[in-house]
């Protein structure tokens, strides 16, 4: 049975990010933080998460943060929600390291807040789409406590050259789910596959899926993600 999520806006003194939150039942024992893509907001993935059937793992809290509003260079400086600036079409050669690190710290504060609310780190999944995927991999691999898993859709590994030195020992064996469209015109499949290969070379266990789609999410991907979530959040 698909999840019913009633999401409501919330602000926390311990996090600089505005979030939407929803729970599938009382006293959730697991949390899934979902990071949206460029120009979207926290509402973007609520309908997709409502398609998940996670009843087998009990009540789940979903957190949908809103990225800060900032000028985005590639879009002519237009202000929109973005986890970091996009300086050009070459996503690897020119990266907004300052913006990436600022958002990384904010996302880690969200992870800390969930632990303060009683959800252990190993029952928290960090997930994201596009820019949200980039932030999931950056923050999740650097977080100091072992997470349940990292799920990245249609994105890539940012600041890849710093990952080996900066990643946390606690998350060197964290399960990683990566999915990508074979016809993606925004983040090329090759970029996603290169990120997969970089993570694998560092010893990370990556579950990889690709689908005949563009820069989007498809039903098969949601089904594969559902199966993976049930696996990484299964209670002992």
What are the average pLDDT values for consecutive 10-residue runs of the chain, which has 236 residues?
A: 61 72 92 96 91 94 95 93 87 82 96 95 98 98 98 96 95 97 95 96 96 96 97 81
In-domain check, residue 174: yes
CA atoms within 13 A on the CB side of 235: 10
Its pTM stands at 0.93
In-domain check, residue 190: yes
Bridge partners of residue 235, in order along the sequence: none
pLDDT at residue 113 in the model:
94
pLDDT at residue 139 in the model:
98
195 is annotated as an active-site residue:
no
In-domain check, residue 14: yes
In-domain check, residue 47: yes
Q: Which domain holds residue 203?
A: 8-232
In sequence order, what are the residues at sequence separation of 6 or more whose Cβ sits closer than 8 angstroms to the Cβ of residue 23? 5, 6, 59, 60, 61, 62
pLDDT at residue 68 in the model:
94
36 is annotated as an active-site residue:
no
130 is annotated as an active-site residue:
yes
In-domain check, residue 1: no
Indicate which residue of 31, 184, 195, 204 is catalytic: 184
Helix (H), strand (E) at residue 128 = strand 124-129
In-domain check, residue 185: yes
In-domain check, residue 3: no
pLDDT at residue 90 in the model:
66
Indicate which residue of 36, 180, 204, 215 is catalytic: 215
When divided into structural domains, the chain yields a total of 1
In-domain check, residue 2: no
Indicate which residue of 3, 15, 31, 130 is catalytic: 130
What's the CATH code of the domain at 162?
3.40.50.1820
């Amino acid at each position: 049975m698909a999840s019913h999520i009633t999401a409501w806006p919330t602000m926390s003194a311990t996090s600089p990010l505005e979030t939407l939150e929803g729970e599938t039942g009382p006293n959730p024992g697991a949390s899934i933080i979902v990071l949206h893509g460029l120009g979207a907001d926290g509402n973007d993935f609520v309908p997709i998460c409502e398609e998940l059937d996670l009843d087998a793992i009990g009540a789940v809290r979903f957190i949908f943060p809103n990225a800060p509003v900032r000028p985005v260079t590639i879009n002519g400086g237009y202000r929109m929600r973005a986890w970091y600036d996009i300086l050009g079409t070459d996503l690897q050669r020119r990266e907004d390291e300052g913006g990436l690190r600022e958002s990384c710290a904010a996302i880690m504060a969200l992870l800390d807040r969930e632990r303060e609310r009683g959800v252990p780190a190993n029952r928290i999944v960090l997930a994201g789409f596009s820019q949200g995927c980039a932030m999931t991999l950056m923050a999740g691999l650097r977080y100091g406590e072992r997470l349940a898993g990292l799920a990245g859709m249609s994105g890539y590994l940012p600041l890849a050259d710093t990952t080996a030195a900066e990643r946390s020992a606690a998350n060197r064996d964290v399960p990683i789910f990566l999915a990508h469209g074979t016809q993606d015109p925004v983040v090329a499949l090759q970029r996603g596959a290169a990120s997969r290969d970089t993570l694998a070379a560092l010893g990370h266990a990556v579950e990889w899926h690709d689908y005949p789609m563009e820069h989007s999410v498809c039903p098969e991907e949601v089904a594969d993600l559902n199966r993976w979530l049930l696996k990484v959040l299964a209670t002992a």
